[in-house]
Structure 1
Amino acid sequence: MPATLQRLPAIPTATKSAGASAEVRTLIDVLIAEQKQLQTPIARYSDYHDREPDLAPHYRTLIPLSKPGDGEQYAFEVSLDRCTGCKACVSACHSLNGLDDEEAWRDTGVIRGGRDTPGWQQTITTACHHCADPGCMNGCPVGAYEKDADTGIVRHLDDQCIGCSYCILKCPFDVPKYSKKRGIVRKCDMCHQRLAEGEAPACVQACPTEAIRIVKVARSMEQGAEGKRKAPSFLPGAPDPSITLPTTRYVGRDIPESAVSGDRESLVPQHAHWPLVLMLALTQAGVGLLAGAQGHEVLTILATLIFFAGMGASVLHLGHPLKAWRFFLGLRTSWLSREILAFSLFAPIPPLLAALPYLPEFPFKALIASAASYSVIPLGLIAIFTSVMIYHDTHRTSWRFPLTAARFFGNAASFGALAFLIARPSPLATLIFTAVVIGKMIPELRIIRLSDDRNADWTPDIHTARLQRGPLGTVMDGRFQIALIAIALSLVNPWLSLPLLLVSELLERQLFFQSVYAPKMPGNFGPARAAH
C-alpha cells in the first residue's frame, strides 16, 4: 500500500456550513493525485534523455569495456524482472539493420507457469544466442557461418549463402530468418560493428528499462553424466539447451520448472517446403522403381524421369542455386552436403541403365550394365540414408530416426514392390506390395491415435497428432484413402496403382513437414506464424 494511503485518517463525510463549502479530500482524490505522479519506464527514460542528451557514457555501462579473454565470449544477459514486453528492442533492431517488413532478428514472447503455477507468466525477449556449438554453422553446407575467434559472435556470411534454409531447421531456437527478397537467410550478429567501436547494440540501447545488456561468459563445453554435454542453466519452457549450448543468460526472476511457452499448443501447420516434398518423394520413388524394375525397359525409363524430376525440384528450394557447387565445404559437419554428394554419385546410374538397351554393342557393355544394376540398391540406400539423417539431425521429435527412416525407406520399398509386381506379376508379388504399403502406414497411424486421449500431457508427438487430426485432417484422410485405393487397383492393373501411390506419398511428405512440432523460443498466446 502506498505511504500516502497509510497516513490517511478515516475518510470524512462532506459537510457544508452556511454560506461556505468545505472541500473534503476523499480516497478517490488521493488515488488520482498519486497516479499523476507515477511514471512508466518509458516516461522515466524520456525524462532522463531530456536531462542528459549525450547518453554514450550511460550506454557503455551496458557493455563490457574490454574484449573477452581466453575461453570467454560475448553474450546477451536479459533481466526478466525488468522486461515489460514493450518491443522497443524489436523495433530498434529492425530499424538499425534495415530488415524487410516481415523480417525480425529479435522477438518477444511469453512463458506461463504451466500446471503447477497456472497464474504465473513472464514476457521474454530473445535473439540469437551465439551458441558455443552452433547448429546453424554445423549444418550449413557451404560454410556461410563463422564463429568469431575473439568475441564468440556467430555471424552469417550473406554473400556465401545459397538460401537452402537448412540452418533454420538445425537451430532449435528458430533464430535464422529467410529473406524472400534476397533469397538468403539472415540473423542477429549482436551488432558486432557497434561493439567493436564501444557502442551498445541496437536492442541494448533501445531498451528503456535496461533489461538487455552484453556480458562476458565462459564458452567451455562441460561434460555431464554418461558423456553428455552439460549445458549452462537456461530458460525453462525453451528448447533443450544441450543441443547447441546457448550463451544467453536469463536472470532476475525465479522461473517455475513447469513453465512452458505461451504458444506451445497453438495448432498452426508449419511451412510445407513443397520443393523438398517433391524432391524427397520423387527421388525415393525413382530409387525404388529402379531397384524393382528387373531390367524392365519402360519401368527403367519411368524411374529415371521420376528421379530427375525430384532432383530438379530440389533446386527450387535454393535461393541461389548457382552457388550450390560449393557443397563440399560442409562435408565434415553437414548432412545436407553429404546428401548432395550421395545423390550426385547415384545420379548417373538411372540414365545409364535406361540408355544401355538402345546403344550398339561395344566392349564391356555387359560388364557396365551389370555393375550399374548392382550399384542401384547400395548407392540408393546410402543416398536415402543421408536424407534421413538430415532431418534426424535437427532434433525434432517427429523427425527422429525410426520414424523418418520408416517413411523414407518405406517410400522406396513401396515403389520397389510395385515395380516388381508390374515386371513379374504374381499373387505373391501382389501380397508383398500390399504388405509393404500397409506396413509403411502403421507408424503413421500409431502417431495419429495419440490425439484420442484429450487428458494426456502435452508431448511433441501429441501435438503432431492433433495437427493431423485438426487443421491437416483433409490431407491425412486423402493420404490413407488414396493409398488403400492404390492397393485395391493393384489387383486389377498395377499400372493404375502407380500414379495413385505417387499422390499418396506426396501427401504423406506434406504431412511430414507441416505437422512437425518445430522447437523455438517462447512466443505469444496467439497463433504462431509458420516458419519458412
Structure 2
Amino acid sequence: MSSLLQRLPAPPAAKKQAAPSHEVRTLIDDLIAEQKTLQTPIARYSDYHDREPDLAPHYRTLIPLSKPGEGEQYAFEVSLDRCTGCKACVSACHSLNGLDDDEAWRDVGMIHGGRKTPGWQQTITTACHHCEDPGCMNGCPVGAYEKDPDTGIVRHLDDQCIGCSYCILKCPFDVPKYSKKRGIVRKCDMCHQRLAEGEAPACVQACPTEAIRIVKVAVSKEPKAESSKKESISTIPAPRFLPGAPDPSITRPTTRYVGRDVPESAVAADRENLVPEHAHWPLVLMLMLTQAGVGLLAGGLGNTAATLAAAGLFFAGMGASVLHLGQPLKAWRFFLGLRTSWLSREILAFSMFAPIPIVVAALPFLPDFPFKDLITVAATRSVLPIGLIAVFTSVMIYHDTHRASWRFSITAARFFGTVATFGTLGLLLAKPSAWSMLFFAAAVIAKMIPELRIIRLADDRNAEWSTDLHTARLQRGPLNTSLDGRFLIAFTAIAVALVNPWAALPLLLISELFERQLFFQSVYAPKMPGSFGPKRHH
C-alpha cells in the first residue's frame, strides 16, 4: 500500500495569490483573534490557583470580615452575569455537609424570558434565603428552627425535629429537605461555623467565577405581622426579588440577585412541567378519616352502630397521622409552637375532641350512674362545635402555606364538605327518610361542584398560565385515573344509598380518598427554579 501511495501523482500545487497591499480587518477578524486568547472560568481559576496556592486571603474578600450591625444580617449575593450553571456550588455543599445521595441544600435551575422576551435565559443558583420572617420557623410545631439574633442566619435544630415536614410546605422556596435516613428535615445554614472563623461557605469557596458571596444587608427591625397594625399586610408593596421566583412578600427573603437585569416576564423553566406532587398518604388518610369521623358522629347521634363506626374512623385517622412523623416520640413537644404554628393548634384541637367519640360510643353500654344524663347531653352537644373547630385548624394549616391551590375557599370547601357528606350519611343511617336521602345526595354533589369548576379550565388550550390551570391539567393528565374514580364512585355511592345506606359508606370513603389524593398531588407547589424532576418529600 505504501509503494502504491508513493507512485500516485502529487496534487497540483495551488497558485499563490498576491496579498493585498492594504489588509482590511473586520469585526469578525477581531472576534476570532480575541477568541484565541479567551479562557474558560475553570481555566482562569486554575491559573490563579497555580500562581497563588494559598487562597485563604482571596476567599476572605468574598465574605464580610465583621458581624452585621444593628438592623443588618448576612445574606447571599448572586451575580447572575457570572453564574455558568456548572453546579460546583452544589457539589461542594454536598461534600462538606456530608449529605445523603439524594439530598441537596443548593439547587441550580433556569429561568427564561417568557412570551415577551422568549430569547432570554439565565441559570440560577439558590439555597436558603435566610428570610427576615421565616415561614419554616413560624410553622414548626416544636421550635426546631432559630434565627440567630447577631447574624440573621436561620438554623435548623436537628435534635429538636420530629420530621413532620410542615416547614417544607410553609417555605415558598422549597428550601428544607427531608432526610428519610434520619427521619428529620435539614437545610442550609450558610456554613455558619466557617463564617465564625473567617472562612467562606462551601458554595462561595467552590464557585470558580465568584458568582456567590456573602454580604451584609439591611433588614426590618419588626416582624412582618407587627410591622403595621393599621394597614393590611397585603397592601404593603413586595420588594423586588427575582422575577420568576415565588412571591417574596410571604417571608421576605434576603438573597440579592445582581449583575444582570431580569425581565419582569421571566418565569421558571420548569413551571409548566406536569409532575404530580408527593401524595402524603398518611396525611390523606388522617384528614379524610378524621373529617369523616366528625361528620358521621354528628349526623348519626342516636344510632349506636353509626356512633361506633364514626369513632373507629376518627381514631384510624389519628393513628395514620403518626405515620407521617419521622420522629413520633418527640411529638409531645407540640405545645412549643402554639403561638405561631397551625399544626400545633391542630394537634391541640384534635386532642380535645378525641375523648368525645369514646364517651359517646361508650355511654349506651354503661349502666345508669349519677350525672349520666348530664354527661350524655354535654358530650353529644360538643361533637359539632369542637369537631368543626378541629377541622378549621386543618383548613388553616394548608391555607397558611400560601399555596394558591390551597387557598381558604378551596380547602374549606373540601374539608368541611367531607364533614357534611358523612354527616348527612350519618343522618340517613340514624333516621332513614326521603328527606335525609335528599340531603345526602345534595351534599355529595355540592362538594363536587368546586372540583368540577377547576378541571373545566383544562379545556381552554389558549388560557394564560395560572395555578388553577396547572392543577386542572394535572388532574386531566397524569392524575386522570384518580379523577375519574373520584366522581364515578361518588355517584355510585348515591345510587347505592337508595338501597342500603351502609353499603354506601365504604364507597364514599374510597371516593373521598381519591379526592384527598388529588388535593395533595395536583397542588401547584411554588419553589425556586431548580431541578426538573419531582420534589423529594417523604
Q: State if a TM-score over 0.5 links the two structures.
A: yes
- 8 Å contact 1:74–1:217 — kept in the other structure? yes
Show the 5 A alignment for 1:195-274: 195-220=195-220, 226-227=232-233, 228-274=235-281
- Residue 54 of structure 2: aligned partner: 54
Report which stretch shifted further, 392-401 or 34-43. Answer: 34-43
Report SS of the residue matched to 2:74: strand
- 8 Å contact 2:278–2:535 — kept in the other structure? no
- Residue 78 of structure 2: aligned partner: 78
- Residue 379 of structure 1: aligned partner: 386
Taking the aligned partners of 1:519 and 1:38, their CA distance within structure 2 comes to 39
Pair 1:482-2:480 in alignment: no
Q: 1:456 to 1:472 in 2, by over 3 A?
A: same
C-alpha displacement of 1:250? 0.3
- 8 Å contact 1:268–1:528 — kept in the other structure? yes
C-alpha displacement of 1:295? 1.4
TM-score, normalization: structure 1? 0.93
Q: How many residue pairs are counted as aligned between the two chains? A: 512
Q: 1:514 aligns with which of 501, 521, 529?
A: 521
- Residue 452 of structure 1: aligned partner: 459
Task: Give the letter aligned to residue 380 of structure 1.
Answer: G
Pair 1:187-2:194 in alignment: no
Pair 1:286-2:302 in alignment: no
C-alpha displacement of 1:29? 11
- 8 Å contact 1:451–1:466 — kept in the other structure? yes
- Residue 311 of structure 2: aligned partner: 304
Report SS of the residue matched to 2:425: helix
Taking the aligned partners of 1:29 and 1:117, their CA distance within structure 2 comes to 30
Taking the aligned partners of 1:30 and 1:335, their CA distance within structure 2 comes to 64
Report SS of the residue matched to 2:242: coil
Q: 1:229 to 1:327 in 2, by over 3 A?
A: farther
Taking the aligned partners of 1:229 and 1:66, their CA distance within structure 2 comes to 32
Q: 2:367 aligns with which of 360, 364, 387?
A: 360
- Residue 508 of structure 2: aligned partner: 501
C-alpha displacement of 1:36? 5.0
Show the 5 A alignment for 1:101-140: 101-140=101-140
TM-score, normalization: structure 2? 0.92
Taking the aligned partners of 2:121 and 2:44, their CA distance within structure 1 comes to 25
Taking the aligned partners of 1:488 and 1:162, their CA distance within structure 2 comes to 44
Pair 1:347-2:347 in alignment: no
- Residue 20 of structure 2: aligned partner: none
Taking the aligned partners of 2:162 and 2:295, their CA distance within structure 1 comes to 30
- 8 Å contact 1:263–1:528 — kept in the other structure? no
Structure 2: runs of 5+ lacking an equivalent: 1-12, 18-24
Task: Give the letter aligned to residue 206 of structure 2.
Answer: A
Report SS of the residue matched to 2:257: strand
Taking the aligned partners of 1:393 and 1:31, their CA distance within structure 2 comes to 55
Taking the aligned partners of 2:34 and 2:266, their CA distance within structure 1 comes to 35
Q: 1:276 aligns with which of 256, 270, 283?
A: 283
- 8 Å contact 1:269–1:530 — kept in the other structure? no
Taking the aligned partners of 1:79 and 1:34, their CA distance within structure 2 comes to 24
- Residue 407 of structure 2: aligned partner: 400
Q: 1:295 aligns with which of 296, 302, 318?
A: 302
- 8 Å contact 2:276–2:534 — kept in the other structure? no
Report SS of the residue matched to 1:37: coil
C-alpha displacement of 1:50? 1.0
- 8 Å contact 1:266–1:528 — kept in the other structure? no
Q: C-alpha deviations, 1:375-426, integer Å up to 9, x for none?
A: 0000000000000000000000110001100000000110010010011110
Q: 1:154 to 1:430 in 2, by over 3 A?
A: same
C-alpha displacement of 1:15? 3.2
Taking the aligned partners of 1:403 and 1:442, their CA distance within structure 2 comes to 11
- 8 Å contact 2:177–2:536 — kept in the other structure? no
Q: 1:530 to 1:202 in 2, by over 3 A?
A: closer
Task: Give the letter aligned to residue 160 of structure 2.
Answer: Q
Report SS of the residue matched to 2:524: coil
- 8 Å contact 1:268–1:529 — kept in the other structure? no
- 8 Å contact 2:277–2:534 — kept in the other structure? no
- Residue 21 of structure 2: aligned partner: none
CA-atom RMSD in angstroms = 2.0
- 8 Å contact 1:131–1:245 — kept in the other structure? yes
Q: 1:200 to 1:402 in 2, by over 3 A?
A: same
